Amino acid sequence: MHRLFPGQQDDEEIVLVIRQHWFYLSAKILLWLVFVAILFVFDYFTPMYIPSLFQGGALPYVNLMKNIYLMFLILGLFMIWIIHYLNVWIITNKRVVCVFQKGIFEQRISELTFPNVEDISSDTNGIFGTFMSYGNVEVETAGEKENFVFENVPKPKDIERLIFNLMDKHPTRGNV
């Protein structure tokens, strides 16, 4: 059986996999494009205004610095995509799982079973959130566990409704 996340049980069905809204990914990529533009601006204007950098012994060092900058640009785009793709909230028929990827080598997985859910709320803020239908969903827990916050996810009201429906269907919900 293919497992989407560590600890997935054999009889557990994945109902929904949620990632941050595409707007947040595109905002990070737009910022990355600013740094790409810096490289093009450097290549265009530097030979006109500082021609000594491209003559004689300085040229190999300039090319080395440009290549290092380009490698960091590629690494930055890779990091933006990997962290976006691996940060995920998973709603199953038994629980809610949060997989938080902080860096390439650091991951935290938290889970919350439906009997421990006290309340769920969602909010949509701002003009972009309203028009693009994204916001936050907060799942409040019973006890000492921290609340789950799904930040900047698409259609937060639908996610809230889905979790409420799954909680009502859960067999041990009434026994807690």
The predicted-structure confidence for 8-62, as pLDDT tens digits, reads as follows 887 888 899 999 999 999 999 999 999 999 999 999 999 889 888 888 888 899 9
The pLDDT of residue 172 is 67
CA distance 27 to 77: 12
Look at residue 109 in the predicted model and tell me its pLDDT: 86
Per-residue model confidence (pLDDT) at position 159: 94
What pLDDT was estimated at residue 176? Answer: 45
Residues linked to residue 109 through DSSP beta bridges, in sequence order = 99
Record the pTM.
Answer: 0.80
Q: What whole-number distance in Å separates Cα of residue 69 and Cα of residue 62?
A: 11
